[in-house]
Structure 1
Amino acid sequence: MAMNKQTKPESPIVWQPRNAAEACTLKQQLGEDGVFVAGGTLLRTWWEAGTARMPGHLIDVSGISSMHKPIALAFSSDDRQICQIGAVALLSEVRNDSHISTYYSLLATAMKNIAAPSIRNLATLGGNVLSRVGDALPALLVYEAMLLWHDGQGAFEQPLAEWLLEAQANHAWKNRLLLAIILPPVDLAEQEGNSRLDVYHKVGRREVFTPSIATVAISAVVSAERHIVDVRLAVGGGQTMPRRLELTELLLKGSKLDHSLLQSCYTSVLEHFHPAGDVFASVSYRQKTAANLIVSELWKAMQLKS
């Protein structure tokens, strides 16, 4: 591994491990004073704002060969095609990939709504995920994404939704290295009369340059008779950790789209979405924004089936 000592005393020491195991060993040795970094755009924002302490050591993982391929296709144990996105893949690379645009359009849309183009050419998908409030997370949650980690001993997979819950109470994950994000296969084929509803919305105070008030991802299948065959909803926004609205999904799945169901859905979102408020938007405002976004899209789908 190579070490690059900065000239300024207050600047961190930069380490360049050759592989994932070496990176994890470094992290274990350095403890809280060592931080994994690739693009570093969000970390710099936190340091400048004073919301995070600049560490004494940066572990630069951008040169690890196993993380070089940004987007690769593979096959699962049941011979279904999956998509693996390297954690150091740039947001712009993910947005412009034809396979992502075709099969995971919500993720491509999310990439378009994160920061400015200059930032998307530096920022990584892994960094957006590890922030735990990144705008990519609602899209990844509805696709039921998996995370591929390395803990120094070997690689293992973990559901994204499981990690988000775990990360709230246990910071042991910070000693692991995120290698990739794995997207399960998506079946775009539609049975006769069925239609897909795939929508991603980010509502912010000034478009892409500020934290969102609410971020919503919807993936659903609606039958010709207006029954909701399948549905996944995920919401986030601001400093709120995104999550699936599983109880609202249960309410919708199998039900017929009508005005009564839309009202029940609106109430359910208000009840089960618990965002963090701030000086820019209250809890109630964020809840109502998310509920309105979801219900309006379901209403549009209902009108198309009328």
Structure 2
Amino acid sequence: MSIRILDAKVWTPTDLKEAWALRERFRLQSSFVAGGTWLQTQWEKGIPYPSHLISLENIAELEGVDQREVNGKQCLYIGALTKLNACGQHPAIQKLCPLLSAGIQQIAAPAVRNLGTIGGNVAHGLGDAIPALLTMDAEVLFFDGRILKSEKLEHWLKGRKRNQESLLTGIILPESQHSSFSNQFFKKVGRREAFSGSVVTVSGVISKNEAGVIDFARLVAGGGENTPKRLQETEQLLIDQKINFLLLKNVYKTILHEFHPNSDVFYSNDYRRRVTANIIVSELSRLGEAS
């Protein structure tokens, strides 16, 4: 058995500007790193580490969870270096964003969640926390070398190449306001290995008014090497509808038409689509049965 040795220089800047200067110096030969769990998955696939690792662990401003006002609205801020387990167990997140808390508990194994950070899970565009964050209309804060900027996570994910030229610093979550007849869910279908990606990850919020009519729907699907995306066609189909057998049937067909994940050596595109459709129809049925 051969042993692979990490051959990389590790740098430990203490502020954003110093971290950025190192990135500018080494460019594609470098990578920002926090918990290192994503890099571990790449290493296990045979992808070599970059020559220079820029550790963010000593940048204190990237840690912590607090409530703050953003553009006149109360929001929850999560620093990018906050460990996944700390996010999942934080009282404010459990109270104000229970969907994220529940979702984080399904990410990998406890040892991985103790190392991995919320920023690392989001930064590479494939993390299992992303569906929950998209469901909650999250924004990201990032440093572009000069100033801090904010952008909707949904839009930020579409600029993967541009994102490599920025440094994610935090997540902003608006306080959710849904009717009492609401179903929030996060479902992950995964393989057994702690470091392997999920097969399918689905998150959603669907609510109905007192008349039983759906007045809000946000659905997100991802998993594997697929960047999570909103199922906007399915969302539109649900609005102003009552839950019945015909609607459930149409929702299933629409998801199969709208969601096009990649296949891999383990699971086909069709399998992932059908698992996603089954999960959402099941959760929709549960809301329909709720009084």
Q: TM-score, normalization: structure 2?
A: 0.94
Give the one of 118, 122, 134 matched to 1:125.
118
The whole-number CA distance in structure 1 between the counterparts of 2:78 and 2:120 is 13
Alpha-carbon contact 2:188-2:201 (below 8 Å) kept: yes
Structure 1 position 247, deviation (Å): 1.1
| Corresponding residue of 2:22 | 26
Distance (Å, rounded) in 2 between the aligned partners of 1:238 and 1:181: 22
1:237 shift after superposition: 1.1
Partner of 1:4: none
Matched with 1:3 is none
Aligned amino acid, residue 162 of structure 1: H
- Asked if the contact 1:24–1:175 (Cα under 8 Å) also holds between the matched residues in 2, the reply is no
Q: Which residue of 2 aligns with 1:276?
A: 262
Q: Report how many aligned residue pairs link the two structures.
A: 288
**What aligned pairs does 1:265-304 form with structure 2 within 5 A after superposition?**
265-304=251-290
Secondary structure of residue in 2 paired with 1:280 = coil
- Residue pair 2:112, 2:194 contacting (<8 A) in 1 also: no
Matched with 2:89 is 96
User: For the residues of structure 2 that align with 1:209 and 1:150, how far apart are their CA atoms?
Assistant: 28
Q: How large is the RMSD of aligned CA atoms in angstroms?
A: 1.7
Please give the alpha-carbon distance, in whole angstroms, between the structure 2 residues aligned to 1:280 and 1:164: 25
Amino acid at match of 1:59: I
Select 1:146's aligned residue among 115, 132, 139: 139
Give the Å deviation of 1:224. Answer: 2.9
- TM-superposed CA distance for 1:199, in Å, is 0.6
Q: Is the 8 A contact 1:197 1:222 kept in 2?
A: no
Deviation at 1:111, TM superposition (A): 0.8
SS at match of 1:24: helix
Q: Pick from 104, 109, 115: which aligns with 1:111?
A: 104
Partner of 2:71: 77
Tell me, what secondary structure is at the counterpart of 2:122? helix
* Residue 10 to residue 99, structure 1, CA distance change in 2 (3 Å): closer
- In the TM superposition, what whole-angstrom CA distance separates every residue of 1:200-254 from its partner, at most 9, and x where no partner exists? 1001233866422211111121123321011100001111110001111111011
Matched residue type, 2:50? P
Classify the secondary structure of the residue corresponding to 1:182. strand
Distance 1:102 1:261 in 2: 32
Q: CA deviation at 1:10?
A: 6.1
CA contact (8 A) 1:28 1:175 kept: no
Task: Report the counterpart of residue 56 of structure 2 in structure 1.
Answer: 61
- Amino acid corresponding to residue 61 of structure 1 in structure 2: L
Instruction: Give the TM-score normalised by the residue count of structure 1.
Output: 0.90
Report if aligned partners of 1:129, 1:136 keep a CA contact under 8 Å in 2.
Answer: yes
Deviation by residue 1:159-216 (Cα, 9 ceiling, x = unmatched): 111111121xxx232121110011112125x4xxx41110110012338664222111
Name the amino acid aligned to 1:258. Answer: N
Q: CA deviation at 1:60?
A: 0.8
Which residue, out of 21, 26, 41, partners 2:37?
Answer: 41
- Residue 181 of structure 2 is matched in structure 1 by 195
Distance (Å, rounded) in 1 between the aligned partners of 2:174 and 2:269: 33
SS of aligned partner of 2:14: coil
Q: Structure 1 stretches of 5 or more lacking a match?
A: 1-7
The structural deviation recorded for 1:48 is 3.0
Q: In 2, distance between residues paired with 1:9 and 1:77?
A: 48
Shift of 1:298: 0.5
Q: Is the 8 A contact 1:21 1:154 kept in 2?
A: no
Q: How many percent of aligned residue pairs carry the same amino acid?
A: 37
Partner-residue secondary structure (3-state), 2:39? helix
Match of 1:263 in 2: 249
Could you list the runs of 4 or more consecutive aligned residues of structure 1 that deviate by over 6 angstroms after TM superposition? none
CA contact (8 A) 1:218 1:233 kept: yes
Distance 1:28 1:9 in 2: 26
